[in-house]
Amino acid sequence: MAGHDFSTLFDLLPIGAYRAEPGGRQLRANRALVRIYGFASEAQALQIFNSPELRWYVEDCRREQFRALLADHGEVRNFVSEVFRDHGRERIWVAENAHMVRDAQGNALYYEGTVEDITERRTNELALQANEKSFRALSDALQMTLHSVAQGIMKINADGRVVFFSHRALELLDLPESLLAAQPMLAEVTRFQQERGDFGVHLERIENEDGRNVVVQLLDGSRTVTSGTYFRRTAAGRVLEVKSQPLADGGMVRTYAEVTDYFEARDEIARQRAQLSALINTIPDMVWLQDAEGAYRLSNPAHQRQHGLPAEQIIGMTPEELFGHDLADLYRKTDLRALQSPVPTVYEMQLPDRSGGPTRLFEIVKAVMRDDTGMCTGILGIARDITARKDAESALIAARDVAEAATRAKAEFLANMSHEIRTPMNAVIGMSDLLLDTPLTTLQREFAETIRTSGDGLLVLINDILDFSKIESGFLHLERVAVPLAECIESAFDLTSRAAGAKGLDLLYWIEDEVPRAIYGDLTRLRQVFINLVNNAVKFTPQGEVFVRLALRTADDGRPLLHASVRDSGIGIPAESMGRLFQVFSQVDASTTRQYGGTGLGLAICRRLVDLMGGRIWVESEPGKGSNFQFEIPFEAAPVVAQPAARKSGGLAGRRVLLVDDNATNRRIMTLQTQRWGMLPQAAASGTEALAWIDAGQAFDLAIIDVQMPVMDGYMLAAELRQRRTAAQLPILALTSLGDTGGRFEGLGVAQTLMKPTKASVLFDALSELFERDIPESAAPPTGPAAAPKGPKLAELLPLRLLVAEDNAVNQRVAILILNGFGYSAEVAANGLLALEATERAAAQGKPFDAILMDVQMPEMDGLVATRQLCERWTSAQRPWIIAMTANAMEGDRDTCLAAGMDDYLSKPIRAPLLAQSLRQAATGLGLRRG
């Protein structure tokens, strides 16, 4: 009966129960245990439990752990494990308890245990653990966030005690951490701050009254927690925003934010607003502001005075109320224009003075005020009384008209004076040139040369005055053409070389490699600057050299600049006198004018021309050591015309050249120039040094020697060289500044003589030709132009039928004599009308004129009218080539002549070389015109 009762009780237990052998073999399993594991019967459960290959613990080692505990302690308490249920299709959590049953001798008989399904409880426990972990992580993150935000944070509980503070709060309030770590009352913290002086002696560092009341209540204990916001300044000048927010539990959160930048911006805005208000209220201009409906919202005192009303009345008024309907309609139209314009509109308007004054003229500016969306919020208007300015402008315009009339009168006077002076000068210079071409005694030649030199000097003076007048009157306009820089300098040397040669001066130039070969600019005016500067240098240099150098500079804004320097070895300029150099009619001092002459206009003209080119000019000098005039102009590189095949330097590359010149600068330039062509130069400072190299056995393909050298000149050196080398072994090229060598090189095998200053292109061509031909042993020395035999006359080369239209008898004679010198005979007409008749008569006779030398200013009919009639009567192919001859030399005269139909232009006095050049151009032009 007892066994039956146990079985019944065993099966009725609400929790799983089992009995097993000490080795672990299950003997019994009650119904609850069978149900927990999802088996169909006790037999099935025992079969599974006792199968060694099957497992019901999820963890492999869990069964061994259970048995070890039981073996060691005789019992197992609350052994929680995750097990498989329903043949492994489900997992549940169970709690096991077991104890070992022993006999009287202590031997293990079996052990019994219970199994309770705790899946629901375990799930809740795990969820709770996860929640606790998440809460701890969230709490840690919140702590980190509170400590890292820019605001300082404190939490005060309902009793007024500080229970939390952030690191930023410590930093902003500059409080010791030990004070807040003790969780003091907020009143204690406030008292600490007050005793330290944080709020000022009288709480003056707290911005508003509410803030001061909060601090007082905390100090006297009447409040423990607060609400609201106040601002206070720190001793270091920072501004803190203190904000208190009540909590539901009776406590509060207090935040501290630094708003120094905001307050500084606010103060700056207030300062600017005060300045703007002061400006608006004090300026004499009227200032007003209208809203989008047109009502006035701002009116400054000037605006109020104009309308005779105080601001209180104007504010809120509309233009109709202020001006009346007629003027308001016009006013509204100007507002509409302002609304349609992307920029402020400016217009002028007559406004009546409501205070009783006369109507005055105002310049009005209106600007539309817009919000962030682009919508119009109002129109700002500013009106300035310009009545006095307009009156002054009218007076200035009248004065300008008078000045322009005076300038025109001066220009006309100068043109007339130029004509009157050049007419007799044409005879003086022309006749002296013709006289010098006739057989003369020595004394007669001296007189004739004096006349010509004086005439040339007078012509320079007139040209300087005219050039300066053109610049001052604004008649001078710069051209934009390609300017070959080397040719520009060389052509300037052409016009100054005679004066330099008379003094034995070397004219030298060098263009650095980085400088473009050509730039865009005005060739004539740039050359004029070089001519004036070189002439000036030659005038004040008794001996030595004048050296022109071009280099590249960069302006501050990155633009390229052409830097030109004209350096001489002359007398130099005292520092106290350099300031007067570029002034009109000014030289270093009066003694300079007496000794060297000149008008003092040359450098002034240079300065004006360089200014027109957008550059600057200056001088560096030291008495006794020469001067260096420099200028810089902005430029744009121009394309260079391709060199013909004959100008390629292939034939010169690798040639060894001996350079002999006593001038160090010239040696340096010749060295650089020949190196640029691929040659191998070696420069000697004297004939003795050159001969020493020859005697030492050094080999050269060519010798370039200066003629004018001290001790051993070029003639002597050539003779010595010929004793050592034949003409075939060592060709010699001679450079001279004295023109004809008088045959002194004859028999010395000098290949060619070139005039100094020697153009790079001329030297290049001479060298190229030298190495292209064989040189005989006794080569006769080809010389420069001075030694060239005279060829046929121009008339033989270019047979032309000519007419001279000139009213002045002397000028007629000069022109005829010059033409006779060319081999021409010409007819003469005394005015334009007679020139027309002569032209028609010659055409009727079948002997039409090829060219007419046409004076511009003649009685009855001037040259311009005559030319226009010629163009009307004859086609381009039929009419003669017309060359203007004018004593005017003002800017625009050439354009006037060409516009009338003339083909060329010569300024009086007429010089034979220029006339010959014009006749050559006439022959070429006629050939093209007539086909």
Of 385 and 467, more confident: 385
Summarize the confidence of residues 902-909 as an average pLDDT: 86
Of 450 and 438, more confident: 438
Q: Are 850 and 880 in contact (CB under 8 A)?
A: yes
Q: What percent of the chain has pLDDT over 90?
A: 29
pLDDT of residue 582: 72
Q: Which residues pair with 92 in a beta bridge?
A: 83
Residue 449 has pLDDT above 80, yes or no: no
| Residue 605: both structure tokens together | 């003209």
pTM of the prediction?
0.45
In sequence order, which residues have a C-beta less than 8 Å from that of residue 65 and are 6 or more positions away? none
Residue 412 has pLDDT above 90, yes or no: no
Q: How confident is the model at residue 423 (pLDDT cuts 50, 70, 90)?
A: low
Residue 808 has pLDDT above 70, yes or no: yes
**Mean pLDDT score of the chain, rounded to an integer?**
83
Of 416 and 665, more confident: 665
Residue 246 has pLDDT above 70, yes or no: yes
Q: How confident is the model at residue 222 (pLDDT cuts 50, 70, 90)?
A: confident
Residue 641 has pLDDT above 60, yes or no: no
pLDDT of residue 580: 67
Lowest mean pLDDT among 482-496, 742-756, 891-905: 742-756
Domains 478-634 and 794-930 share a fold: no
Lowest mean pLDDT among 87-91, 393-397, 773-777, 854-858: 773-777
Q: Which CATH architecture has domain 149-264?
A: 2-Layer Sandwich (3.30)
Q: 497-535, pLDDT tens digit by residue?
A: 878 888 888 899 999 999 999 999 988 889 889 998 998
pLDDT of residue 234: 84
Summarize the confidence of residues 1-25 as an average pLDDT: 78
Q: What percent of the chain has pLDDT over 70?
A: 87
pLDDT of residue 94: 93
pLDDT of residue 509: 92
pLDDT of residue 28: 92
CATH for the stretch 645-787: 3.40.50.2300
pLDDT of residue 743: 62
pLDDT of residue 887: 67
Q: Are 746 and 695 in contact (CB under 8 A)?
A: no
- Which class for 438: exposed (0-12), middle (13-18), buried (19 or more C-beta within 10 A)? exposed
Q: Which residues pair with 367 in a beta bridge?
A: 380
Residue 370 has pLDDT above 50, yes or no: yes
pLDDT of residue 11: 81
The residue extents of the domains of the chain are 2-117, 149-264, 285-385, 478-634, 645-787, 794-930
Q: How confident is the model at residue 753 (pLDDT cuts 50, 70, 90)?
A: confident
Summarize the confidence of residues 301-316 as an average pLDDT: 89
> Which of the following CATH numbers is that of domain 478-634: 3.30.565.10, 2.40.50.140, 3.40.50.2300, 3.90.580.10?
3.30.565.10
Q: 2-117: what CATH class?
A: alpha beta
| Residue 821: both structure tokens together | 């010198």
Concatenating the DSSP letter of every residue in 800-846 gives: --EEEE-S-HHHHHHHHHHHHHTT--EEEESSHHHHHHHHHHHHHTT
Q: Which fold has domain 794-930?
A: Rossmann fold (3.40.50)
Summarize the confidence of residues 112-124 as an average pLDDT: 90
Residue 774 has pLDDT above 60, yes or no: no
HEC-encoded secondary structure of 841-875: HHHHCCCCCCEEEEECCCCCCCHHHHHHHHHHHCC
Find the helix or strand (DSSP H, E) in which 671 lies. helix 664-676
Q: Find tokens 């009156």 and name the residue.
A: 391
HEC-encoded secondary structure of 18-86: EEECCCCCEEEECHHHHHHHCCCCHHHHHHHHCCCCCCCECCCCHHHHHHHHHHHHCEEEEEEEEEEEC
Q: 550-564, pLDDT tens digit by residue?
A: 999 999 898 999 999
Q: 254-305, pLDDT tens digit by residue?
A: 888 888 888 888 888 889 888 888 888 888 999 999 998 889 999 999 888 8
Residue 472 has pLDDT above 70, yes or no: no
Q: How confident is the model at residue 596 (pLDDT cuts 50, 70, 90)?
A: very low
Instruction: Give φ, ψ of 98 to 5 degrees.
Output: -155, 155
Lowest mean pLDDT among 559-563, 612-616, 740-744, 821-825: 740-744
pLDDT of residue 393: 87
Q: 137-159, pLDDT tens digit by residue?
A: 666 666 666 666 778 888 889 88
228, HSE (Cβ side, Cα atoms, 13 Å): 12
Concatenating the DSSP letter of every residue in 520-532 gives: EE-HHHHHHHHHH
> Which of the following CATH numbers is that of domain 285-385: 2.40.50.1070, 3.40.50.300, 3.40.50.920, 3.30.450.20?
3.30.450.20
Q: Which residues pair with 734 in a beta bridge?
A: 705, 753
Summarize the confidence of residues 753-762 as an average pLDDT: 84
Residue 649 has pLDDT above 60, yes or no: no
Of 426 and 305, more confident: 305
